[in-house]
Amino acid sequence: MNFRYVIETVNQNGLKETLIEEVTKSDILIGRGASCDLRLVGRLVSLEHARLTVDDDSISITDMVSLSGVLVNNRLVKTEKLKKGDVVKIGAFVFKVTREDGVWGFLEERTEGADAGDSEAFIAKQAKALRFQTFLPSFTTLSILCSLVVAVLFGVMPFVFSDYWYWNSGPMSSAHRMIENDCAQCHSSSFVQVQDKDCLSCHKMSEHSGVMNEVFTKRPDLNHRCATCHMEHNGDAGVIAKESKLCADCHSDLGTMIANASSPDIASFEKHSEFRVTIPEYSMVPSESGGMDEEIVSAIRVSLKDTEKLKDSARIKLNHKIHLEPDLAGANGPETLTCMSCHRLSDDLRTIKPIEFERDCQSCHSLEFDARLPGKAVPHDKADLVFNYLYAEYAKLSLSPKQDESDQDSAPSRRRRRPGGIEATRGNAPVEFSRASVIDQSRNAEEELFTRTACHLCHEISEKPEDIAVSEMSSKYMVLDPNIPDVWMPAAIFDHGAHQSMSCESCHGGAKRSELTTDVLVPGIKNCRQCHSQEQKLNSVKSECVMCHSYHAPLVMKEEEKQAIEKILLKHATY
Amino acid sequence: MRDGFLSYRGYRWLWICSLALLAFIAVYLWDNPVGGRNGGTIVGYTYGGIATAGILFLMYYGIRKRAYYSKATTLKGTLSAHVWIGVLLIFLVPLHSGFSFGWNVHTLAYALMLFTIFSGIWGVVMYTRLPMNLQSQRGGGTMTQLLEQVKAISEDINRMAGIEGASKDATPKSDVFLGMLQRLDFTFKPSIYRSLFKKSSQPIDRSRMAALLSELPKEEQDDGLKVIGLLNKKRELVSRIQDEASSLTWIRLWLYLHLPISFGLLFALAIHIFSVFYYW
């Protein structure tokens, strides 16, 4: 015996079956052919695949130009000497080289597949491999999983960690952002809308006028909560309501709600009544001390339609028409003024600066008082100060060396008189210094200034009443406070800067024709309606009430309110 | 009709939903509430209520589908409403919220709803396209039958090659014959992955067939022709199996998103409603 071929088959039940084939040749042919000594029936096996040469001591294998070659220990070989334990592969067959009792052999181990012989199970397994469902959990599992993830992450976690940020329906206003994650600050009761007491725990309604409270208590049918107008979770856009209809809720019917409403009923911008300007009123009443009458200034609101009452009460003499004529005598030759020559925008570009004499008038309206003192001008100040200045200047003049007479004569005629300017003081005779003479000259100049020229040109001036003692060093005159109004409608918001693209005349066209101080040159609401409307319209600026009106009384924060807010700030310092 | 559920009764539900949407848009534009349009206005609450009812109706389809004995409505009509109301909800919910979205549970509910609806639309597209293909491919056979045929043909090929079932006395086939098999045959291992992404090869073309046959010894040419016929049949069956497996996947896979996410949506919606009123 030269060679032993052993097939060990482990079946489905784990039992081992052994088949032994013995070959008594030293030259063994392996292949698929019928004439082969070792017949291997397989796809990859040639009819004559390989040859084994066996003797007592050695065994070698030679490939016979086969279909798939011979592999020894996974290496393709032509002729190879084999030793015990080598692994030989021929087609799909795998052998282990053995040597037992001096006999060489091949051991083939086979395992019967689970489905071997069970065709139905084999097909079922194949069909299963083609279904994607095999590799996914069931609908029920997936549905439960998905529901659980959502429920736990978004339903349970907020309660567990008291962190509700993903329940937040929208960003808070910047004022409330510090309490954004503390929902209960405002939402004190669950399933109940935010109540007024929640707002009032910090805010004291100081922003609202008392009338507001009165209206709310009188009209419960309006069902207004704070949050009706002040809506949160809408960023900064929401908290301060801009909707005109909120204003109109009360203002369209103010008369029935408030006994003596000071404002007319206004339903919309389109139905807005004519503007009312605030005009100071003066009256004289006997003073308590029993002396002179005292001047009381109050303010009345007059509609622009009320031509009878509509009078600028400023005590100044101003003729706009003359100022807007071309080629006026300016400081440096002819000059044509525009509105902006005197009326300048304030630094915030919203309002107009009050007129200042030194900046807006003096370059044309000189306060010089004596041709002998060119360049010397009285200060634009109180009458007493003006008199003191005059006294000082005349005193200096009488002490200074005398000037050439011819010079003095020619001086006035060379200079053109400007409005309010002064011609050579009468009585140019050289003076000796004496107190009486200086006072005399000063009184002359004062009278000239206050009753005929510079001051008199613009100001309302009266002589001091007899019961006021005029000392030697005080003025005989008093200038009434001009009281020029800075703003005609002090509660309204108007932005001159925003209207810069327009000319001043397009709204204040009356200025060119106005000759009297009493003319009020504020444009009427018709003028605004050319560009503004409450309804959204083409070529029109959509304008809600709050564009011009601020809400009731201005914000005043009391000490205890500040403290309440500070408390919250401290509590949320970690946010 | 294969897409009958979309066009059910002359697109009845498409019309109903389109008109409803137009009405919703009109009211939305007409309404000008204080604080701007959002879910908390009267229109907002109303639309939210309608959308919730819509979602519950869509979920009800899962129950209605299984109620085989229901006579009140036809299943096809219910499916038609299911699809078109689903499409309507895509637009109704932004109107409800006044187009405000954010990183919160409220928008999560909308996102999950969109996932559900779009997976449903994907399913509709698959349903309207694939069934005809499937019927033509199957040739009347079921998947198991196809697999059995492949198994039988593979065995036939082995028998032709003398590998199995051949009598001991029969002449073994030449190495050339087996070499040809080696190049043309393959072991079929069904796999859903390969079916979806790596389809098997085309049938052997005639010129290649002739070249292969001419290489065979005379006495084996008849068997060669037969075995090539079997190989072609096997290839055809395998590619049919793979096409069908991939079709069956596409026609069902969307449901694996549609159904579980719809349940997630249901919970997100519940939390949305709860949280909004809990902190009213």
Could you report the per-residue pLDDT of A216-261, keeping only the tens digit for each? 777 777 777 888 778 888 887 777 778 888 788 778 887 777 666 6
Residues 241-280 of B with CB under 8 A from A: 241, 245, 248-249, 252-253, 255-256, 259-264, 266-268, 270-271, 274-280
Instruction: Write the pLDDT tens digit of every residue in B105-138.
Output: 999 999 999 999 999 999 888 887 765 555 545 5
Report CB contact under 8 Å: A67, B264: no
Report CB contact under 8 Å: B261, A146: yes
Report CB contact under 8 Å: B192, A130: yes
HEC string for A175-207:
HHHHHCCCHHHCCCCCCCCCCHHHHHCCCCCCC
Report CB contact under 8 Å: A241, B34: yes
Minimal CA separation from A126 to chain B, in Å: 6
Is B153 in the same domain as B190? yes
Q: Is the pLDDT of residue A94 over 80?
A: yes
Candidates B163, B260, B263; nearest CB to A43:
B163
Residues 20-39 of B with CB under 8 A from A: 34-36, 38-39
The reported pLDDT for the residue numbered B132 is 55
Which residues, 6 or more positions from A412, have their beta carbon under 8 angstroms from its beta carbon?
A371, A423, A424
Is B14 in the same domain as B88? yes
The reported pLDDT for the residue numbered A117 is 64
Minimal CA separation from A39 to chain B, in Å: 11
Average pLDDT over residues A483-506: 87
Searching chain A, which residue's CA lies closest to the CA of residue B262? A143
For residue B2, being part of any structural domain is answered with no
The reported pLDDT for the residue numbered B224 is 87
The bridge status of strand A103-111 relative to strand A3-10 is parallel
Please, which residues bridge with residue A532 across strands?
A541
The reported pLDDT for the residue numbered A428 is 52
Report CB contact under 8 Å: A129, B36: no
Residues 138-197 of B with CB under 8 A from A: 143-144, 147-148, 151, 158, 161-164, 171-172, 174-175, 178-179, 181-182, 185, 189-192, 195
Searching chain B, which residue's CA lies closest to the CA of residue A48? B175
Searching chain B, which residue's CA lies closest to the CA of residue A236? B35
Searching chain B, which residue's CA lies closest to the CA of residue A141? B260
Coil/strand/helix, residue A166: helix
The reported pLDDT for the residue numbered A414 is 42
For residue B166, being part of any structural domain is answered with yes
Contact between A367 and A378 (Cβ < 8 Å): yes
Report CB contact under 8 Å: B192, A135: yes
List CB contacts (< 8 A) between A246 and chain B.
Answer: 34
The reported pLDDT for the residue numbered B203 is 77
Searching chain B, which residue's CA lies closest to the CA of residue A230? B35
C-alpha distances out from residue A214 to A230, A249, B255, Å:
19, 14, 62
Which residues, 6 or more positions from B128, have their beta carbon under 8 angstroms from its beta carbon?
B2, B3, B6
For residue B89, being part of any structural domain is answered with yes
Is B235 in the same domain as B269? no
Domain count of the fold of chain B: 2
Provide the residue type at B74 as one letter: T
Containing domain of residue B258, as a range? 8-134+251-278
Instruction: Write the pLDDT tens digit of every residue in B190-240.
Output: 888 888 887 766 777 788 888 888 888 888 888 888 888 899 899 888 888
The reported pLDDT for the residue numbered A50 is 93
- Cα separation of A395 and A441, whole Å? 9
Report CB contact under 8 Å: B178, A228: no
State the number of CA atoms in the 13 A half-sphere of A46 facing the CB: 15
Q: At what angle do helices B75-97 and B8-30 cross, to 10 degrees?
A: 10
For residue B211, being part of any structural domain is answered with yes
Contact between B244 and A125 (Cβ < 8 Å): no
The reported pLDDT for the residue numbered B117 is 94
> Range with the lowest mean pLDDT among A151-165, A477-491, A528-542?
A477-491
Report CB contact under 8 Å: A155, B255: no
Any chain B CB within 8 A of the CB of A152? Answer: no
Q: Which residue has the tokens 């609401």?
A: A525
The reported pLDDT for the residue numbered A406 is 45
Minimal CA separation from A241 to chain B, in Å: 6
Q: pLDDT band for A107, please (50, 70, 90 cuts).
A: very high
Report CB contact under 8 Å: A136, B181: no
Provide the residue type at B160 as one letter: M
Is B61 in the same domain as B170? no
Minimal CA separation from B11 to chain A, in Å: 31
Any chain A CB within 8 A of the CB of B104? Answer: yes
Residues 41-60 of B with CB under 8 A from A: none
The reported pLDDT for the residue numbered A575 is 37
Contact between A70 and A88 (Cβ < 8 Å): yes
Is B110 in the same domain as B186? no
**Mean pLDDT, chain B, integer:** 85
Contact between A49 and A64 (Cβ < 8 Å): yes
Q: Which residue has the higher pLDDT, B166 or A77?
A: A77
The reported pLDDT for the residue numbered B178 is 86
Contact between A175 and A185 (Cβ < 8 Å): no
Is B57 in the same domain as B144? no
Which tokens go with A564? 């309440």
Candidates A164, A170, A231; nearest CB to B100:
A170
Any chain B CB within 8 A of the CB of A129? Answer: yes
The reported pLDDT for the residue numbered A574 is 42
List CB contacts (< 8 A) between B158 and chain A.
Answer: 43
Searching chain A, which residue's CA lies closest to the CA of residue B185? A43
Is B256 in the same domain as B267? yes
Q: What's the farthest any 2 CA atoms get from each other in chain B?
A: 99
Tell me how many residue pairs between chain A and chain B have CB atoms under 8 A apart. 165
Searching chain A, which residue's CA lies closest to the CA of residue B39? A169
Minimal CA separation from A249 to chain B, in Å: 12
Instruction: Write the pLDDT tens digit of every residue in A377-391.
Output: 899 988 888 988 988
Contact between A230 and A207 (Cβ < 8 Å): no
Searching chain B, which residue's CA lies closest to the CA of residue A165? B104
Strand order in the sheet with A3-10: A16-23, A3-10, A103-111, A93-100, A87-90, A70-72, A75-77
Candidates A122, A139, A191; nearest CB to B259:
A139
List CB contacts (< 8 A) between A223 and chain B.
Answer: none
The reported pLDDT for the residue numbered A471 is 79
Q: Is the ipTM of this complex over 0.95?
A: no
Is B29 in the same domain as B128? yes
Q: Is the pLDDT of residue A355 over 80?
A: yes
Phi/psi at A108 (nearest 5 deg)?
Answer: -110, 125
- Complete DSSP assignment for B40-95: TSHHHHHHHHHHHHHHHHHHHHHHHTT-TT--SS-HHHHHHHHHHHHHHHHHHHHH
Q: Is the pLDDT of residue A409 over 70?
A: no
For residue B168, being part of any structural domain is answered with yes
Please, which residues bridge with residue A3 across strands?
A23, A104
Report CB contact under 8 Å: B147, A126: yes
Report CB contact under 8 Å: B249, A237: no
Report CB contact under 8 Å: A234, B35: yes
Is B98 in the same domain as B172? no
Searching chain B, which residue's CA lies closest to the CA of residue A157? B271
Candidates B105, B174, B252; nearest CB to A154:
B105
Q: Is the pLDDT of residue A88 over 90?
A: yes
Is B26 in the same domain as B96? yes
**What is the DSSP secondary structure assignment for residue A274, as one 8-state letter?**
P
Is B127 in the same domain as B260? yes
- Cα separation of A102 and A58, whole Å? 10
Candidates A127, A146, A167; nearest CB to B279:
A167
Q: What's the farthest any 2 CA atoms get from each other in chain A?
A: 170
For residue B3, being part of any structural domain is answered with no
Instruction: Write the pLDDT tens digit of every residue in A161-204.
Output: 888 888 888 888 888 888 888 888 889 888 988 888 888 888 77
Is B188 in the same domain as B106? no
Candidates A124, A164, A234; nearest CB to B36:
A234
Candidates A67, A149, A245; nearest CB to B179:
A67
Q: pLDDT band for B176, please (50, 70, 90 cuts).
A: confident
Searching chain B, which residue's CA lies closest to the CA of residue A130? B192
